[in-house]
Amino acid sequence: MTTTDAPATGVENPVENPVENPVEHPAPTPHAELADPPAPTRTAAVAAGWMLVAGVVLAAFNFRTAVTSVGAILAELRTGLGMSETVAGLLTTLPVLAFAGLGAFAPRLARRYGPRALLTGALLVMSVGMIARAWAPNTALFLLFSLLALAAGAVGNVAVPVIVKRYFPNRIGLMTTAYSTTLAVGTAVAAAATAPIDHLTGDWRLALAVWALPALIAVVPWLLWRPGTAAAGAAPIGRLDGVRRSRLAWMMLVVFGSQSAIAYILMGWTTTILVADGMAPAAAGSMLGLLTIVPIPISVVVPILTVRWGPRPVFLALMACYPPAIAGMWIAGGGPLTWLWMALFGIGTSVFPLVLTLFGLRARTPAGTSALSSFAQSGGYLIAGVGPLAVGWVYGLTGSFSAPFGFVAALTAVLFCAGLYVIRERYIEDELE
């Protein structure tokens, strides 16, 4: 962590040229003041830098485990708690509501307590919530403790892009790759491993509680990291007011919300649609697994390519996967090419790490990144929560998935139009001036 890899020509990185891109708090990058220091100081700074990287990556692994671990054993959970279908529906919507509501407070908490205390506290609360909900005696307490367990994900969604912008301004693509890939891995691992753990132990409560362990492990780097050593020249997070006046902020909200809604619809309804089309439940489940696995390798390259090439070609390439996937599932879902439609959907949903990267690229300062990330995610998750509910409502009225597929196609069109605005080089601070 002692050198910086400056992006190639044409990269849209607002930190690269302080003359053309003025910063509210001019300061060298976190590594700039580490040039030729005494050996012990340099060693301590390098160690602190890697500790920060480990903290970001390990924290990201846990941002979705509280969500997907429940979905994997929802039937056993409902039986064990006597949970009704209506409450089960509320439980599946709770993560979206938590991300929308709690994420709005993350910037204020980050300014007041700093990233170290913020993520340490969130991960500890998450661990307590996971353990407490696993042995909750009734549905009401299970929902309450689930909300606590989701706190780290809600806070981390907003806080991590700000941390990357503040401490790694010249490595936004690389760091976004690291934490978005780890987030995808944690999502898939919790979804795939919870049911086998339940089968092995014969205890669904233990299968849920076990995910508190990686959350506790993720706390360790944040307890050991010393911000003063690793970020001698980092700009303060600060505050950016009047975000609602920015067209860029609203377009980022629409982009984040529409892509999240598509992803939640696919994760919530894919198996139901495929079974309705005649596919065996086990095969339909494997197609859902393919949908969640494909984005993992894609998320490795998307942030890096976004920084090196600019977001436009990456965005257009990802969006090109949606039309054939929608048409294929609409016309021939459940057929021999279903795996192809699922793979294309998986590639298309990799717009998510691109959006995370844009939170850093579309702001000149950590304060701008914080404001943009919080505004877009809080409102965007409300849109995302409506998506699966709308599909279920339309399907209940019509008894056909033709209308829901039309809804997905409309969301894709909205995502494309709003995306064309945010991929152009512009900064939220400039719009607010």
Average pLDDT over residues 229-245: 61
Q: Residues of the chain with pLDDT > 70: what percent?
A: 85
What pLDDT does 416 receive?
97
Report the distance separating Cα 199 and Cα 192, nearest Å: 12
Q: Write phi, then psi, for 350 (nearest 5 degrees).
A: -75, 10
Q: Quick one: which of 78, 101, 204, 91 has its CA closest to 145?
A: 91
With cut-offs at 50, 70 and 90, classify the pLDDT of residue 54: very high
Taking alpha carbons only, the member of 147, 127, 145 closest to residue 136 is 145
Sign of the Cα torsion 371, 374, 378, 380 reads positive
pTM of the model: 0.72
- 3-state SS, residue 38: coil
pLDDT at 190 over 80: yes
> Would you say 119 and 51 are in contact if contact means Cβ atoms under 8 Å apart?
no
State mean pLDDT over 424-428: 91
| Alpha helices per DSSP H over 277-362 | 281-293, 295-309, 311-319, 322-332, 338-348, 351-361
Give the pLDDT mean for 316-341: 91
DSSP string, 47-62: HHHHHHHHHHHHHHHT
* Amino acid found at 137: P
Q: Does residue 391 register a pLDDT over 60?
A: yes
Q: N- to C-terminal Cα distance for the chain? A: 35
The tens digit of pLDDT for each residue in 98-145 reads: 777 777 777 778 778 877 788 888 899 999 999 999 999 998 899 889
Q: pLDDT-derived band of residue 78, with 50, 70 and 90 as boundaries? A: confident
Which one, of 330, 328, 327, lies nearest residue 276 by Cα?
Answer: 330
Q: Report whether pLDDT(329) > 60.
A: yes
pLDDT in tens, 273-289: 888 888 887 788 788 88
Range in 47-61, 102-116, 246-260 with the lowest mean pLDDT: 102-116
Whether residue 24 is predicted with pLDDT greater than 60 in this model: the reply is: no
Q: Which domains does the chain have, with CATH numbers?
A: 38-224 (1.20.1250.20), 238-433 (1.20.1250.20)
Confidence of residue 227 (pLDDT cuts 50, 70, 90): low
- Residue 236 pLDDT level (bands cut at 50, 70, 90): low
Spell 326-363 as b/e; 16+ CB within 10 A means b. bebbbeebbbeebeebbbbbbbbbbbbbbbbbbbbbbb
More confident residue, 8 or 339: 339
In tens, the pLDDT along 394-420 reads 777 777 777 778 888 999 999 999 999
